[in-house]
Chains A and B, each alone.
Chain A
Amino acid sequence: KAGVTQTPRYLIKTRGQQVTLSCSPISGHRSVSWYQQTPGQGLQFLFEYFSETQRNKGNFPGRFSGRQFSNSRSEMNVSTLELGDSALYLCASMFGYSGTQETQYFGPGTRLLVL
């Protein structure tokens, strides 16, 4: 079974631009969560989608948004990029949703650099 895939793997943008990242979960998984990872900040939760509905949202500004499609693939969008948005963006999939004992399976991440 293929793992979680994320595209693109690397991205360079300039301030003020917007970016869309994509995540394909493990086949059969219905939940996708997104995280931002920066040096010294650990994994910061962005949001969780289950069956096309956002279930949970972290403490990030409205510039960060996401969606999930009927095939469980998910995208996250960051508008009006700032230098501080430079980070590794990770997505993780589960069959169920948070609140269960299920394990998350992480993708390799998209490394975004904002210049």
Chain B
Amino acid sequence: AQKVTQAQTEISVVEKEDVTLDCVYETRDTTYYLFWYKQPPSGELVFLIRRNSFDEQNEISGRYSWNFQKSTSSFNFTITASQVVDSAVYFCALSEAGYSTLTFGKGTMLLVSP
């Protein structure tokens, strides 16, 4: 069975601080995909990244970066120089190869104050 754990329920930072959102996953599959989504107060899910299990290269996209470590089953997400607009709930999710259903973590609410 798959499981995604986001231990941080809520994080509060002040603008311009860096913040890391943790994600730990469990799966028995050797091929799987990991995702991060942002859910602003309006509710829609904004896709941020998808990473397959064979690609452990870290990725950077602007102020966002992701650290994938299979050895610790973690896929952490860092926002550099956070901004108020980054305030949202962030979900980490996992899917098995060949399936489009996602198993979501419980989400981390990020509050960035001015």
Q: Do A and B come from one complex?
A: no
